[in-house]
Amino acid sequence: MILPLVLEMHDASMGQGDKVVFEHVDFGLANAEMCYMVGRSGSGKSTFLKTLYGSIPLLAGDIKIAGFDLGTIKRKDIPLLRRSLGMVFQDFHLFEKWTVFQNLEYVLKATEWKDKTERENRVEEVLAQVKLSNKSLQPIHKLSGGEQQKVVIARAILNKPTIIIADEPTGNLDAESSEEVMSMLYNLANENNAAILIATHDNQLIEKFPARIFKCENGNVIEL
């Protein structure tokens, strides 16, 4: 069975300003697939990801992601693109004085979930998925680093994205928390029917949770 592609790029060139980082890249990610992106610091992983979520414009070529065409997308439609993506970063970007529930409900309000009961039910659903149901009313600053990263993952899946983009999701975590977070991401690819693209330096986790691996090197993205 061939799964449909939710990320497809052909002959894509990416970079910032006058600096071209990648040229003529072909890449695809199927529905519910997980894959890794590796490469040395400065190899372009962040540029690749930033292009996917519209933080920097596509320079040339063709990229289609979650139903959006990055070659023709208008600036006003970038928030719509990001609602179709789940984003998990090394820096958590959470409101530390707010509770877990408040952080998650805020996202639903911002993405036009108008019904209070529906918001509450959705927050409860995602907290159950990341095994944090008992932390709903805890302020963020009282959580461990691993628990905060689970809140970030919960936030990423709130709007049932077709793709989750994770940039060094275990970079600030200890080994035990890193393994727990990776296991969670691995399972979510199936549970939520979402593709997951993970940029990481952690070879031990790649060995423990195998998936396709792509390397950024010398302006190319090469499958290993």
9 strand-pairing partners: 27, 63
What does the pLDDT read at residue 1? 47
Over the stretch 118-174, which tens digit does the pLDDT of each residue have? 999 999 999 998 999 999 999 999 999 999 999 999 999 999 898 999 998 888 888
**pLDDT tens figures, 44-93:** 998 999 999 999 999 999 999 999 999 999 999 998 898 889 999 878 88
Residue 183: its pLDDT value, please? 86
> CA 16: distance to chain centroid?
21
Torsion of CA 118, 191, 179, 167, to 10 degrees: -70
Q: Are 3 and 32 in contact (CB under 8 A)?
A: yes
Contact residues for 203 (Cβ-Cβ < 8 A; gap 6+): none
Q: What is the pTM of this model?
A: 0.87
**pLDDT at residue 69 in the model:** 96
216 or 183, higher pLDDT = 216
What is the C-alpha separation between 47 and 42, in angstroms, rounded? 9
Of the candidates 161, 18, 134, 148, the one whose C-alpha atom is nearest the C-alpha of residue 94 is 148
What whole-number distance in Å separates Cα of residue 34 and Cα of residue 189? Answer: 7
Q: What percent of the chain is modeled with pLDDT above 70?
A: 99
What single letter denotes the amino acid at residue 142?
Answer: K
**Token pair 């019904």 is at which residue?**
115
Question: What does the alpha-carbon distance between residue 163 and residue 7 come to, in Å, rounded to a whole number?
Answer: 8
- Residue 3 has a pLDDT of 63
pLDDT tens, residue by residue, 92-107: 889 999 999 999 999 9
Check: CB of residue 125 under 8 Å from CB of residue 207.
no
Place of tokens 């393994």: 179
